[in-house]
């Protein structure tokens, strides 16, 4: 009788152990971001999305493609920005240079701070000297005597500073009336545009944004066919923009990737889309 009870108890314990193991196995969620096992911490939690440059993902591609891209590319650019930019491009070159110099001089304020944050003190000092010279001798930045004096520009955006600090791009966004962006770049742009909050006239601020946008769009005229003739203009713009942003964060890695692929994009195009 005792032997039978021991066997019964052993069988019960075996069933409990088996059911416990099964319950433990069935409760395992491979997509849970918090796992105590080392092997699970290395898993890809991108939920099936392709990892883009800067560890970005396009998790809301339908909205980006059929709303943001449709508005920005097929409507705003085609029927407003492109024709206006082509008209602007026929203005005398000194006028276009003056507009570009003015906004470039304002950006020197950010270059001073952002280079300083990265410990690039020489570049920060050069940016300060450029801003001082161009704001005075250059008549509020309409001219660029600092470059004639050999003071090279060292552009540095807050989003690049954040990237070098280890912040990934996050979600890729095609923002209507703004263009390609990411979660990181939007936060960085907000920090870089701090001076707009000092202007109490919203119409002046809007006018400055509009003029700057038209000027920047005019610089992209030679590159229009690159996007227009691509098989998927949306995907091409996304890849080029994110690759350029990542190239600013890690130039050496971007150069290696370009050499490995055996193809590249016109540098002027990369520089101009950066201002979007």
Q: Which residue has the higher pLDDT, 29 or 189?
A: 189
Instruction: Report angle CA 181, 276, 119 to the nearest 5 degrees.
Output: 80
Per-residue pLDDT tens over the stretch 60-95? 999 999 999 999 999 999 999 999 999 999 999 999
- What pLDDT band is residue 199 in, cutting at 50, 70 and 90? confident
Average pLDDT for 126-138: 97
Structure tokens at 178: 């703004």
Give long-range contacts, CB 8 A cutoff, 24+ apart: 79-84: 81/213, 81/214, 81/217, 82/217, 82/224, 84/214, 84/217
The DSSP bridge partners found for residue 171 are 57
Amino acid 17: pLDDT: 42
Average pLDDT for 103-128: 97
Which of 29-38, 67-76, 186-195, 263-272 is predicted least confidently?
29-38
Average pLDDT for 38-64: 73
Structure tokens at 219: 């610089």
Residue 173: enclosing H or E segment and its boundaries? strand 172-175
- pTM of the model as a whole: 0.74
Exposure b/e, 28-46, CB count within 10 A at least 16 = b: eeeeeeebeeeeeeeeeee
């Amino acid at each position: 009788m005792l032997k039978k009870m021991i066997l019964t108890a052993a069988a019960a314990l075996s069933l409990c152990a088996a059911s416990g193991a099964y319950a433990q196995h069935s409760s395992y969620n491979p997509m849970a971001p918090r796992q105590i096992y080392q092997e699970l911490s290395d898993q890809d939690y991108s939920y099936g999305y392709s990892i883009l440059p800067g560890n970005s993902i396009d998790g809301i591609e339908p909205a980006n493609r059929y709303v943001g891209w449709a508005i920005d590319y097929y409507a705003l650019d085609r029927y407003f920005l492109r024709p206006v930019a082509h008209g602007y491009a026929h203005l005398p070159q000194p006028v276009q240079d003056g507009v570009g110099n003015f906004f470039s001089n304002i950006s020197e304020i950010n270059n001073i701070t952002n280079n300083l944050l990265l410990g690039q003190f020489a570049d920060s000092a050069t940016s300060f000297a450029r801003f001082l010279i161009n704001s005075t001798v250059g008549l509020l930045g309409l001219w660029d005597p600092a470059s004639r004096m050999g003071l090279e520009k060292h552009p540095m955006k807050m989003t690049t500073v954040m990237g070098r600090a280890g912040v990934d791009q996050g979600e890729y966004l095609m923002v209507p009336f703004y263009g390609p962006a990411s979660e990181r770049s939007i936060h960085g742009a907000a920090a870089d545009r701090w001076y707009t909050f000092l202007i109490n006239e919203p119409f002046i601020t809007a006018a400055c944004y509009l003029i700057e946008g038209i000027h920047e769009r005019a610089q992209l005229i030679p590159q229009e066919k690159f996007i227009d003739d691509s098989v998927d203009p949306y995907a091409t713009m996304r890849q080029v923009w994110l690759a350029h942003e990542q190239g600013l964060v890690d130039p050496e890695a971007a150069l290696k990737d370009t050499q490995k692929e055996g193809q590249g994009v016109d540098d002027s195009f990369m520089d101009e889309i950066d201002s979007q």
